[in-house]
Every structure is written in structure tokens, then in C-alpha cells.
């Protein structure tokens, strides 16, 4: 570990002190003087026509300031979608309006119909009970296949059908893939469900809208992963507030996992209502509201076919998916099953021909959008499951079949439009075999058998694409946003540094890790560096944190800004040392004239920048502050190999995870402790998906899992200790730090590991089971064992 | 409105509150002790765990009026008056037992209750005890390690076994 606390040090997190002592400042901890509270009356019906809303009784209830319905939002735009997918016929996707409050119809359980703003939350809630809504029930569209049948009930009357888009990728490969599969010596087919999940950060969403009538300025405090994105979407498309009059603040945020990326109705409502009632308006989601209103994740139904030759070499992949959009298009929903999923279908393997078809479907369910991994877990799961099935059909060891198909030369251009810059998949697999102690498996299996348990070994690889970019490419793919990141590096007169970053930390430890980078670059102590984030009034326009992009994109912007600062400081130092700037080097916090003992300290140079008495004023402006916007040339490609051992209780079907080993290639690592933690957390969520979690609607579109009592969140006794390793590092070739991104890997790689292991356990025990859909609950596993 | 008085982190407090005021809301709204968090409303997540008369209690599931005369301890009273972290708090920082920090106050208060009952718990005992505390960030690995470390156990070589 570097002694200086710079890059590579497992520095303890500075933010922990406030979190551990109850001094964190989350949005719900903020109360604005004279604030009112809003309670949303939400639909308890999945689909219906609103014939009338009578608010007259509610308006007269104690403490009520105003009752809002869609009529109050007639001049306001809908919640915009930030990504337009073009279908395989060249047509844009179908894009319904997403109103702030339901307009004429309710389309999912939980959709807000009316909102009461009152002095207290209790008064608002009581008054909402007095609202009379006349809703005529319509048939609910829940099943995706049924939704696409001719004559199916439509979720949106004004759209042609329930099909959002029919996307083909790469469309030109379609015929060649069909032919390769037709002619292949062996084709393995697998139909599977990647079930709907709920991200469930433990902090529910909160929004507080404030309007200052004197200056006509708005402030929104919100639990967001990307405050500038909210400011842009809400200001420009919903409320028509110019950006200089709208400040968005995301203070400490209690976990995001994707679901706090998106712009939600409640944010627009509180901001809008604050002006109307001329008081700050606060909303906090209950957990059940979170289940009904936070964008949910996954929900793919897929058929995948893998064509192989007799030796197990992959010849072609054809995959067809139905992807649930829910009732409306959440901010980035259309991109998840397409560009974040189809492009990942090559995995770690040389497959010459790939064709991906995705049909996105509207249903009367809560909107679906990115959840940790976003499209990449769905790609990895189907690919790694079908490979495992193929290996068993061909009698090839599951590790060997993967090795036989590994990409070994880089850069590698996949048939699904990505260019992997680096990787060493054999080295990663070698390390995994050692870490997982595969050689010891048989002995452990025998020991399990003695106890009446079935033990299985599961293994798979994953690749992901992080830091989605560059902006001009994603624009062509339909993104309605840029995907750069910004940073301002402000050097203070006495040499300390304040970094304003567009990245946002909601658990990732930026306040600790980012200063480690600056400290290494300048040679000062990390305690001399402060990170500012999460406030549009304080940081330059930035895109926030999602898709494991913070260090790869935000960190790169910070490095670029710091390089500019150092470049200028070097010129100042050259002046002070009466030398040429080219001869000045910065090391351990001192500028030295190369080959001499002449030097000047960092702090003396920074002071000269702000007290420019002895200063080259004719050539340089005073001051030491620079901003950079970094737009990456490519994605980064973290990759890894995971293995686990499970035990199945044949009496009950209960699965326990006995061992889990994860070997990840994240390139350069700034803080190994934080990276380990990110992997642990991802594994927890991935194992949760594999064994426990599932969001369930009944045939009427009623949400059956709307609390922590119904939705099985992983708890401490559901999960094991993990063995993680990231020693097989191949640094990214196109960003200044060589970093790749580590936030989602665990969640992407682990679901197939668990399912592969359970299938292995059952097959070893003689059961003819080739697949079980997640979550692998005791009842599902037990039923599979009964044939 | 009914008057309620109790001792919170050693300080006597008194307020008039509606009868249906939950202890969590009393702490957060009346006393502005916002370290106690509410994450689920149904006594599942444990972010709101405080101690009432020495017992770990989910403060979202008990009325403030039920705590009349009680000794209540919250996360704000856990560190020493000069800010020095308690052994449990320090172990959570040293072993990266928190990420977003939202569940952390409840985790620390539950861990404290566990170690008071069982000074050297096994991994399995810790995992079982934390059933009522949900963390979505850490996968629990480092929380379990931190609690083992806080109880004086060597956790330097812990990994999957």
C-alpha cells in the first residue's frame, strides 16, 4: 500500500465519520422553514378510465392548502424520455405521454391521480381519503406475449399497439445468423426469464421543492444520482424553468442502484406546487410508495440459441427477447434492452455471428428502467446459461468450453459493435480456479453428501461495458444527452485543492477516492483535497453517476483539469526559479529544476498565483483554477470470472451458497478497499436475484410485492463471505488513469454462477434438470427435482 | 396532544406530541436527531433501531408515548463527547462496513445490542442477529467482519470458506 495515501491505498473513508455518528445529511433530514407536505393519491387499479375526480370535500379539510389534479398541469409538459430507439425498420419507437398526474386514465398501480398539499403530512393524508375518484376498470395488460397479440387491450389508446419497438441488431447479420444456425452441427436452445426486480435502496426517494417569489428562483432537493440531468429534464421539458433559475441539490443519498437516475413526477410536482402554494413542499416516499413508483428493473423473457461445432467452438448466437417497459417510458428505459444489452452478447468469446432481436412492450405495470447492471446482467445471464447447457450437452467441461472460445487478442472488434481494448481472460480464469479451489470440490461434495446435501459447482465469465460514450456515438444511437463528465479543480491560495465534480456519490466513496488521485498527481496529502458534488449551483454541468462511470469518466475529467492546473503551476514555478518550464518537474509537492537542487514548494507556487507580486503577469493570468469536460473515446471493459459452490437440501429444495469466488479485471485500482466493497455489494444483489428476489403482479396487474414483508431482500444470513481478487489487471488503454469501473460487476456476473451451480448439483444427483428460472426458491428447486 | 418526557442520550427531553407520534418521528422531527432513519415503515429494514432502556427497538414501530420515562440511546450518543468513535463505529470504518450510510445507524445500534448480549459472537450468530437490519450496499461481508473485529476477533484472513 502506498504510504502517501495516493493511488492504490486502501484509505479509510472520510465520509464514514458523519455516517457513523448520525451526522449524514440526507434529503429527508432537510426541513425548510414554513414547508408544507404533499401526499399523493395513487391508483389502486392497474388500468382504468377516470370519469371524474371530486376534490370538493378534500379541499375543505383542515390544513389543506390545495388539491392538485391533472387539470392543474395542463400547461406543463410530460415527463420526458431520454433515449429514442429506432426500430429495425427505421421507424422511431412509440412514445406515449407520461403526465405528472394521471390524465384521463390510470395505467399502473401506484400512478399518482391527485395530490394534496397541506400544513402537515397527516392532514394531507386525511384529506386524500376524502377525494372521490370515479374510475371505470379496464382490462389490465400484464403478460407481455398476450399484450402483443392482435386485438389485445391497449395500454395507451392513442398508440398503434402495445409494441414500443421491434429492434434488430445487427440487422444486416440476420440472414447470415439464421443460415449458420441452420447448418450448425449442434444448436443449444434455452428459454428463460430474467425476472422483474426492485432496486430498493434503503433510503426511499424524497423531494422538496422551494420557490423564491422575490427572485423567481426554484430549488429542488432530491435523492438523485445526477442533479444536473434532473435540472435539464425538468427545467427544459416539464416545467419550462430556465436553468439559471433552477438549482437542484442531491445531498447525501442513501443508495441509488440506478433507480435514482431518473426524473420522476414527484420532483416536478414539488417544484411546481411550491410556486403555486407559495411555500416549500416536501414529499417522502413510504416503502410501499417506493415499490409502486420507483422504476423497476430487468423483466426480460428470452429465447437464446447457440450454434457450435463438434469441438464446442461457438459459431453463431441468435437471441430473441420481450422486454417489459411498464406503462410509461422511464428516462432511459428504451436503451436498457437494446444498446446496453445487445452490444454485450459477445461476452468474453469469439462468436463470429450474432443477431439480437428485442421487442419492448407496454404493460399496466410500474415503469422499468436501469437497475444495477442494466441490460448487461440480462445479456450475461442468457449467454452464460446457454454456454453451460451446451457444455453439458456436448460433454465438455464448463471451464474448458469457455477457454476454447476466449478472445485472446486485443483490441478485439465484436460482431455487436464494440471494440474491447484490453483483457486477459485466461489469466482471470486461472486465478479463479486457484481462488475457488476447484480441485478441492470433489472432497467437499463428498462431505456434503454425507450430510445429505447435494453440492454443485458453478462457473461463468462476464464482460461489461462501463462509462458509455462517446457522446457523438451515443447521440447516433438515440441518446438525448451527452455522456461526458466535468470537473473543476480549484487550487486555493495556500495550496489545498477543492474539486467540483459532476459525478455523484451515493455510497461509492468519491470523497475519499478522488482526493487520492489528486494527491498522487501533486504529491500532497489527500487531506488537502476536498470534493464537492451534488449541487448544480456549485459544480459545473455534469452527468452524474451510473453505469460504473464515476472514476473512468468523472475521474478522467478531474485528471484533465488537474493536468491543466499543474501545467500552469509549472509555468509559475519556472518564473520563480528563473528556469524554463520544460525543465521543471513536480514531485512530492515540490517543483524542481531537473538535475539541480533548486526547488519551490507547491504551496509557494499556489500562493504566488493569488498574490502575484513576483509573477509573469504579461504571460499568465493570476489564479489557479481549471475546468475540464472529458468525453471518453470508448467504453471501458471490465471482465471477470466467477465461481461458487452451493448446497441443495433435497428434502426442501433450499439452496445455500457455501463458497463464492470472484476474480475481476478492473484495470488500475485507486482504493482496493472500496473496490472490494463494490464487488461484495454487487454479489449480494446478484445472489439476491438468483435466490430470493422477484417483483410479482397478479393477472389484474395488482402489485403483490409492495413491502419488505413480501419482496425478499437478501439479509445477512442469506449470504456468505466472498473471496474477491483483482490482481489480473489489464489497464484501460484510453483513459488517463487506466481505470475500468467496478460498480456493477458483481451484480452482472453472479446470477448465472448460482444457477449454473444449482443445475450442477441436481444433475450430479441424477436429476434431469437443465434450467430453473430465478429466483431459485425452495419450492421451485424442489418442484424441479420432482420432474 | 399529550406531553411526553424521556431521557435521550443522557439529556432529559419533554414535548407535546399527537398520540400517534412514532418514536422515530419524535426523534427526527421534535428533537432533530436525524441520524435515526426510516427506510420501510414496516419494521423490516432496521434503519431506525435505537435502544430503549438498553434494548434494541425499531423506533418506527413504537409510539413516543410508550417511551414515557425511558432511557433512549440513539446513534448521536454513540461516539464520545469529544467525537472519538466507539469501538463498534471505529470497526465499521476500519473494515468498510458501510457505503451509503443510510442503514448504518441501525446496524451500529443492533451490533451494540448484540455485543452486549454476546461479547464474542460467531459469524453465524452475527448473521442471524442482523436478520432485522437490511443493507443494500455491502452484501453484509464487511458488516459481519466489522462486528467480529469490534468483539476482538482477528478478521484479517476472512474470505469465503
The reply to whether B22 falls in a domain is: yes
The minimal CB distance from B161 to the residues A17, A255, A659 is found for: A659
Measured CA to CA, the distance from residue A517 to residue A511 in angstroms comes to 11
Radius of gyration over every alpha carbon of chain B, rounded to an integer in angstroms: 16
The reply to whether B160 falls in a domain is: no
Answer yes or no: do B33 and B72 share one domain.
yes
CB contact under 8 A, A202 and B100: yes
DSSP state of A472: H
Phi first, then psi: give them for residue A725, nearest 5 degrees.
Answer: -150, 140
Answer yes or no: do B41 and B105 share one domain.
no
Interface check for A787 against chain B (CB to CB < 8 A): the answer is no
Measured CA to CA, the distance from residue A241 to residue A263 in angstroms comes to 15
Q: Which top CATH class is A31-138+203-254+260-293?
A: alpha beta
- What CATH number corresponds to the domain at position B64? 3.10.20.30
For A:687-716, CB contacts with B below 8 A are: 687, 707-709, 713-716
CB contact under 8 A, A24 and B89: no
Answer yes or no: do B58 and B93 share one domain.
no
β-bridge pairing A723-725 and A655-665: parallel
Distance set, CA A98 to CA A42, A101, A165, A233 (Å): 15, 9, 17, 13
- The answer, yes or no, to whether residue A292 has pLDDT greater than 90, is yes
* pLDDT for the residue numbered A467: 84
The reply to whether B159 falls in a domain is: no
Q: Which strands form A353-362's sheet, in the order they lie side by side?
A: A163-169, A353-362, A314-326, A297-308, A186-197
DSSP state of A406: B
CA B5 to chain A, closest CA, distance in angstroms equals 22
For A:102-161, CB contacts with B below 8 A are: 122
Hey, what's the cell of A608?
A: 504566488
What is the secondary structure of A317-348 as a DSSP string?
A: EEEEEEEEEESS--TTGGGTTTTTTGGGTTTT
Q: Which top CATH class is A16-23+484-630?
A: alpha beta
The reply to whether B32 falls in a domain is: yes
Answer yes or no: do B23 and B56 share one domain.
yes
Could you count the other beta carbons within 10 Å of the beta carbon of residue A178? 14
* Confidence band, pLDDT 50/70/90 cuts, at residue A3: low
* pLDDT for the residue numbered A139: 98
CB contact under 8 A, B102 and A202: yes
Q: Which residues of B touch A721 (CB under 8 A)?
A: 123, 141, 144, 158-161
Residue at which a domain ends, from B53, B76, B99 = B76
Angle at B129 between CA B128 and CA B132, to 5 degrees: 100
CB contact under 8 A, B98 and A16: yes
Answer yes or no: do B63 and B120 share one domain.
no
CA A723 to chain B, closest CA, distance in angstroms equals 5
- The answer, yes or no, to whether residue A2 has pLDDT greater than 70, is no
Long-range CB pairs of B76-85 (<8 Å, 24+ gap) are: B76/A21, B76/A22, B76/A23, B76/B9, B76/B33, B76/B35, B77/B8, B77/B9, B77/B10, B78/A20, B78/A21, B78/A22, B78/B108, B78/B109, B78/B112, B79/A20, B79/A21, B83/A21, B85/A17, B85/A20, B85/A21
Nearest CA in chain A to B83: A21
Hey, what's the cell of A639?
A: 471482465
Q: Are A174 and A159 in contact (CB under 8 A)?
A: no
Per-residue pLDDT of chain B (161 residues; tens, 9 = 90+): 999 999 999 999 999 999 999 999 999 999 999 999 999 989 999 999 999 999 999 999 999 999 999 999 999 999 999 999 999 999 999 999 999 999 999 999 999 999 999 999 999 999 999 999 999 999 999 999 999 999 999 998 886 54
Q: Which residues of B touch A684 (CB under 8 A)?
A: 136, 138-141
Residue at which a domain ends, from B76, B104, B129 = B76
Phi first, then psi: give them for residue A242, nearest 5 degrees.
Answer: -65, 150
Q: Tell me: domain A297-468+634-785, CATH 3.30.70.3270, correct?
A: no
Phi first, then psi: give them for residue A436, nearest 5 degrees.
Answer: -85, -10
SS3 B59: helix
Average pLDDT, chain A: 97
CB contact under 8 A, A681 and B139: yes
Angle at A512 between CA A508 and CA A517, to 5 degrees: 105
Measured CA to CA, the distance from residue A361 to residue A428 in angstroms comes to 38
CB contact under 8 A, B100 and A254: yes
Same fold? A16-23+484-630, A297-468+634-785: yes
CB contact under 8 A, B40 and A717: no
Hey, what's the cell of A287?
A: 416503502
Beta-carbon contacts below 8 Å between A and B:
200
SS3 B2: strand
Q: Are A545 and A483 in contact (CB under 8 A)?
A: no
- The answer, yes or no, to whether residue A4 has pLDDT greater than 80, is no
CB contact under 8 A, A507 and B74: no
Answer yes or no: do B45 and B93 share one domain.
no
Answer yes or no: do B72 and B91 share one domain.
no
* Confidence band, pLDDT 50/70/90 cuts, at residue A142: very high
SS3 A356: strand
- What CATH number corresponds to the domain at position B128? 1.10.150.120
Residue at which a domain ends, from B76, B102, B124 = B76
Interface check for A649 against chain B (CB to CB < 8 A): the answer is no
The reply to whether B38 falls in a domain is: yes
Number of compact structural domains in chain B: 2
The minimal CB distance from A13 to the residues B85, B93, B137 is found for: B93
Measured CA to CA, the distance from residue A663 to residue B138 in angstroms comes to 18
The reply to whether B157 falls in a domain is: no
The pTM assigned to this predicted structure is: 0.97
* pLDDT for the residue numbered A346: 98
Q: Are A639 and A425 in contact (CB under 8 A)?
A: yes
Interface check for A720 against chain B (CB to CB < 8 A): the answer is yes
Q: Where are the domains of chain A?
A: 16-23+484-630, 31-138+203-254+260-293, 297-468+634-785
Q: Are A57 and A303 in contact (CB under 8 A)?
A: no
* pLDDT for the residue numbered A1: 45
CA A452 to chain B, closest CA, distance in angstroms equals 19
User: What element of type H or E holds A248?
Assistant: strand A246-249
The reply to whether B39 falls in a domain is: yes
Interface check for A742 against chain B (CB to CB < 8 A): the answer is no
Answer yes or no: do B67 and B92 share one domain.
no
- The answer, yes or no, to whether residue A540 has pLDDT greater than 90, is yes
The minimal CB distance from B75 to the residues A21, A684, A721 is found for: A21
Interface probe for B, chosen from A12, A15, A18, A21 (most Cβ of B below 10 Å), is A21
Largest CA-CA distance found in chain A, in angstroms, rounded = 86
Interface probe for A, chosen from B48, B131, B141, B143 (most Cβ of A below 10 Å), is B141
Q: The domain containing residue B6 runs over which residues?
A: 2-76
Answer yes or no: do B69 and B130 share one domain.
no
Answer yes or no: do B57 and B96 share one domain.
no
A250-261: average pLDDT: 97
- The answer, yes or no, to whether residue A557 has pLDDT greater than 70, is yes
Answer yes or no: do B68 and B101 share one domain.
no
DSSP state of A596: S
Interface check for A255 against chain B (CB to CB < 8 A): the answer is yes
CB contact under 8 A, B101 and A23: no
Answer yes or no: do B69 and B91 share one domain.
no
CB contact under 8 A, B41 and A287: yes
SS3 B124: helix
Handedness of CA B41, B43, B46, B51 (dihedral sign): positive
CB contact under 8 A, B42 and A715: no
The minimal CB distance from A16 to the residues B74, B93, B158 is found for: B93
Least confident span in A389-398, A429-438, A463-472: A463-472
β-bridge pairing A112-118 and A64-68: antiparallel
CB contact under 8 A, B45 and A708: yes
Global ipTM: 0.98
The minimal CB distance from A715 to the residues B36, B108, B134 is found for: B134
Hey, what's the cell of A522?
A: 501533486
Nearest to A112 by CA among A213, A38, A183, A13: A38
Measured CA to CA, the distance from residue B72 to residue B57 in angstroms comes to 10
Q: Which residues of B touch A441 (CB under 8 A)?
A: none
Interface probe for A, chosen from B78, B108, B160, B161 (most Cβ of A below 10 Å), is B160
Distance set, CA A746 to CA A180, A602, A678, B77 (Å): 33, 40, 8, 36
CB contact under 8 A, B139 and A682: yes
The reply to whether B20 falls in a domain is: yes
The minimal CB distance from B99 to the residues A20, A26, A507 is found for: A507
pLDDT digits (tens, 9 = 90+) for A187-225: 999 999 999 999 999 999 999 999 999 999 999 999 999
Residue appearing with cell numbers 471501458: A636
Q: Which residues of A touch B137 (CB under 8 A)?
A: 255, 507, 677, 681
Amino acid at each position: 500500500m502506498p504510504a502517501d495515501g495516493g493511488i492504490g491505498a486502501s484509505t479509510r473513508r472520510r465520509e464514514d465519520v458523519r455516517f457513523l455518528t448520525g451526522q449524514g445529511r440526507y434529503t429527508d433530514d432537510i426541513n425548510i422553514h414554513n414547508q408544507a407536505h404533499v401526499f399523493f393519491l395513487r391508483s389502486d387499479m392497474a388500468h382504468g378510465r377516470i370519469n371524474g375526480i371530486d376534490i370538493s370535500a378534500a379541499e375543505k379539510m383542515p390544513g389543506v392548502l390545495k388539491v392538485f389534479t391533472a387539470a392543474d398541469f395542463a400547461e406543463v409538459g410530460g415527463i420526458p424520455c431520454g433515449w429514442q430507439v429506432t426500430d429495425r425498420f427505421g421507424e422511431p419507437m412509440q412514445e406515449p405521454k407520461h403526465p405528472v398526474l394521471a390524465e384521463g386514465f390510470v395505467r399502473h398501480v401506484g400512478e399518482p391521480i391527485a395530490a394534496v398539499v397541506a400544513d402537515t403530512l397527516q392532514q394531507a393524508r386525511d384529506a386524500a381519503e376524502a377525494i372521490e375518484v370515479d374510475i371505470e376498470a379496464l382490462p389490465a395488460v400484464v403478460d407481455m406475449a398476450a399484450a402483443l397479440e392482435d386485438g389485445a387491450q391497449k395500454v395507451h389508446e392513442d398508440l398503434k399497439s402495445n409494441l414500443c419497438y421491434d429492434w434488430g441488431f445487427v440487422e444486416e447479420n440476420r440472414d447470415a445468423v439464421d443460415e449458420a444456425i441452420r447448418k450448425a452441427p449442434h444448436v443449444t436452445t434455452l428459454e428463460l426469464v430474467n425476472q422483474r426486480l426492485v432496486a430498493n435502496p434503503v433510503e426511499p426517494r424524497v423531494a422538496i421543492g422551494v420557490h423564491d417569489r422575490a427572485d423567481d428562483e426554484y430549488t429542488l432537493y432530491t435523492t438523485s444520482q445526477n442533479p444536473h440531468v434532473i435540472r435539464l429534464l425538468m427545467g427544459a421539458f416539464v416545467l419550462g424553468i430556465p436553468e439559471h433559475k433552477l438549482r437542484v441539490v442531491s445531498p447525501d443519498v442513501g443508495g441509488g442502484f440506478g433507480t435514482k437516475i431518473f426524473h420522476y413526477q414527484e420532483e416536478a410536482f414539488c417544484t411546481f406546487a411550491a410556486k403555486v402554494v407559495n411555500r416549500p413542499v416536501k414529499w417522502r416516499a413510504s416503502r410501499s410508495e417506493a415499490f409502486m413508483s420507483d422504476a423497476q428493473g430487468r423483466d426480460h423473457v428470452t429465447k437464446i440459441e447457440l450454434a457450435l461445432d463438434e469441438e464446442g467452438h461457438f459459431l453463431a448466437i441468435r437471441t430473441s427477447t420481450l422486454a417489459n417497459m411498464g406503462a410509461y417510458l422511464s428516462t432511459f428505459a428504451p436503451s436498457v434492452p437494446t444498446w446496453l444489452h445487445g452490444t454485450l452478447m459477445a461476452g468474453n468469446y469469439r462468436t463470429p455471428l450474432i443477431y439480437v432481436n428485442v421487442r419492448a412492450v407496454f404493460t399496466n405495470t410500474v415503469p422499468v428502467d436501469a437497475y444495477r447492471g442494466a441490460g448487461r446482467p440480462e445479456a450475461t445471464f442468457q449467454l452464460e446459461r446457454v454456454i453451460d447447457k451446451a457444455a453439458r450437452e456436448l460433454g465438455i467441461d464448463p471451464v474448458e468450453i469457455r477457454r476454447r472460445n476466449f478472445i485472446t487478442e486485443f483490441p478485439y472488434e465484436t460482431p455487436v459493435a464494440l471494440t474491447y481494448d484490453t483483457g486477459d481472460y485466461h489469466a482471470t480464469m486461472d486465478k479463479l480456479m486457484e481462488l475457488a479451489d476447484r480441485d478441492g470440490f470433489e472432497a467437499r461434495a463428498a462431505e456434503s453428501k454425507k450430510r445429505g446435501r447435494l453440492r454443485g459447482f458453478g462457473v461463468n465469465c462476464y464482460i461489461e461495458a462501463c462509462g458509455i460514450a462517446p457522446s457523438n456515438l451515443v447521440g447516433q444511437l438515440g441518446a438525448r444527452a451527452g455522456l461526458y463528465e466535468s470537473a473543476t479543480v480549484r487550487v486555493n491560495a495556500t495550496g489545498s485543492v477543492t474539486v467540483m465534480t459532476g459525478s455523484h456519490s451515493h455510497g461509492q466513496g468519491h470523497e475519499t477516492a478522488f482526493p487520492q488521485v489528486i494527491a498522487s498527481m501533486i504529491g500532497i496529502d489527500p487531506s488537502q483535497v476536498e470534493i464537492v458534488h451534488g449541487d448544480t449551483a456549485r459544480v459545473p454541468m455534469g452527468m452524474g453517476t451510473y453505469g460504473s462511470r464515476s472514476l473512468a469518466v468523472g475521474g478522467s475529467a478531474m485528471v484533465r483539469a488537474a493536468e491543466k492546473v499543474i501545467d500552469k503551476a509549472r509555468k509559475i514555478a519556472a518564473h520563480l526559479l528563473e528556469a524554463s518550464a520544460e525543465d521543471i518537474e513536480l514531485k512530492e509537492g515540490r517543483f524542481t529544476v531537473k538535475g539541480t537542487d533548486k526547488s519551490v514548494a507547491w504551496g509557494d507556487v499556489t500562493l504566488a498565483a493569488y498574490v502575484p507580486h513576483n509573477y509573469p503577469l504579461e504571460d499568465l493570468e493570476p489564479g489557479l483554477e481549471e475546468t475540464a469536460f472529458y468525453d471518453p473515446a470508448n467504453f471501458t471493459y471490465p471482465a471477470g470470472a466467477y465461481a461458487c459452490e452451493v448446497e441443495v437440501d433435497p428434502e426442501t429444495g433450499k439452496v445455500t451458497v457455501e463458497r463464492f469466488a470472484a476474480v475481476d479485471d478492473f484495470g488500475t485500482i485507486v482504493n482496493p478497499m472500496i473496490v472490494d466493497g463494490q464487488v461484495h455489494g454487487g454479489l449480494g444483489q446478484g445472489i439476491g436475484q438468483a435466490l430470493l428476489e422477484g417483483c410479482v403482479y397478479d393477472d389484474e396487474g395488482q402489485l403483490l410485492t409492495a413491502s419488505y414483508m413480501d419482496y425478499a431482500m437478501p439479509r445477512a444470513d442469506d449470504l456468505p463471505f466472498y473471496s474477491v481478487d483483482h490482481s489480473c489487471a489489464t489497464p484501460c488503454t484510453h483513459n488517463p488513469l487506466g481505470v475500468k469501473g467496478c460498480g456493477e460487476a458483481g451484480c452482472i456476473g453472479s446470477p448465472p454462477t448460482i444457477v449454473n451451480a444449482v443445475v450442477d448439483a441436481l444433475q450430479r444427483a441424477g436429476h434431469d434438470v437443465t434450467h430453473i428460472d430465478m429466483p431459485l426458491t425452495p419450492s421451485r428447486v424442489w418442484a424441479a427435482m420432482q420432474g | 396532544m399529550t406531553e411526553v418526557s424521556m431521557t435521550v442520550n443522557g439529556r432529559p427531553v419533554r414535548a407535546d406530541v399527537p398520540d400517534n407520534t412514532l418514536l422515530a418521528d419524535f426523534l427526527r422531527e421534535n428533537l432533530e436527531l436525524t441520524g435515526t432513519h426510516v427506510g420501510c415503515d414496516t419494521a423490516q429494514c432496521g434503519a431506525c433501531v435505537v435502544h430503549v432502556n438498553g434494548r434494541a427497538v425499531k423506533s418506527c414501530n413504537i409510539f413516543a408515548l410508550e417511551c414515557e420515562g425511558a432511557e433512549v440511546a440513539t446513534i448521536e450518543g454513540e461516539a464520545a463527547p469529544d467525537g472519538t468513535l466507539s469501538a463498534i463505529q471505529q470497526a465499521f470504518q476500519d473494515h468498510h462496513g458501510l457505503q451509503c450510510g443510510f442503514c448504518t445507524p441501525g446496524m451500529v445500534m443492533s451490533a451494540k445490542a448484540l455485543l452486549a448480549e454476546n461479547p464474542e459472537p460467531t459469524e453465524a450468530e452475527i448473521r442471524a442477529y442482523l436478520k432485522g437490519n437490511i443493507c443494500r450496499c455491502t452484501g453484509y461481508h464487511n458488516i459481519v467482519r466489522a462486528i467480529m473485529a469490534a468483539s476482538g476477533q482477528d478478521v484479517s484472513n476472512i474470505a469465503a470458506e
